Amino acid sequence: MGKLDGKVCFVTAAGQGIGRSIAERFLNEGARVVATDIDAAKLDGLQAYEGAVIEPLDVTDEAAVNAAAARYAEASVLVNCAGYVAQGNLLECDAGTLRRSLNLNVESMFLTCRALLPAMLARGEGSIINIASVASSVMAPPDRFAYGTSKAAVIGLTMSIARDFAAMGVRCNAISPGTVDTPSLHERMSSAADPAAARRAFLARQLTGRLGEADEIAAVALLMAGDEARFMTGANVVIDGGMSL
């Protein structure tokens, strides 16, 4: 018996990194997973799992999100993983970068939550899991103005949803990872003037001396999605290798 037997889970940005690990962990625990990503090619391989449903989706497109939510109204778990990491401080951030950060990191969660929540409320049960970051209201790493601003908003969004709908059976929690070894991180390191120095800098932030693994974040998401965490709502679980201490 899997921990998520019988549950339908809707996962955004499931093509790689944390989203992919969460989708695979949920599938291995018996869930039916609607795996979405704006890049359909990144979802290749998930078809091999029993219970996987592949759904190309731009989570910033309100009409597309609403249509997908209508097709999968039976989803009792929503995991919001889509995100964008903008670099730079306030003076290096232009209005377009801030808008993009808020659009992809916050507004997309607003759209998916608003679209899938009514069916959860009608059934009297649901779990929403939002991927935030320690770069938020938890701590402020250097040169992450737009990203930290948007992820702080994710924590506020999470708490507000949790507060308003707890009595109706819907839980909402956030996960705030530190630096996790993902394709996105490798892209940022590779684009640095000195990729080796960039990697050393990322490692130096972790008190454990290593990067996090996407599957470690997926383990926390599994707990939040399952019935074992039915008394947990409004939480922000920090899993960062001591980065925020």
Which of 49, 72, 84, 147 is the catalytic position? Answer: 147
Q: How far apart are CA 44 and CA 21, in angstroms?
A: 14
Parallel, antiparallel or unpaired: strands 180-181 and 212-213: parallel
Q: How far apart are CA 128 and CA 89, in angstroms?
A: 31
Read off the tokens for 122.
């009608």
Vertex 48: Cα angle to 45 and 179 (nearest 5): 45
* Residues ≥6 apart with Cβ < 8 Å to 115: 65, 66, 68, 69
DSSP one-letter code for 42: G
Note every long-range contact of 228-232, with CB atoms under 8 Å and residues 24 or more positions apart, other chains counting. Answer: 228/3, 229/127, 229/171, 229/173, 230/171, 232/171, 232/173
- Whether residue 239 contacts residue 176, with contact meaning beta carbons closer than 8 Å, is answered with yes
Q: How far apart are CA 127 and CA 114, in angstroms?
A: 13
List, as one string, the DSSP characters of 73-127: TT--EEEE-------B-GGG--HHHHHHHHIIIIIHHHHHHHHHHHHHHHHT-EE
Tell me whether residue 49 is one of the annotated catalytic residues. no
Residues with catalytic function:
147
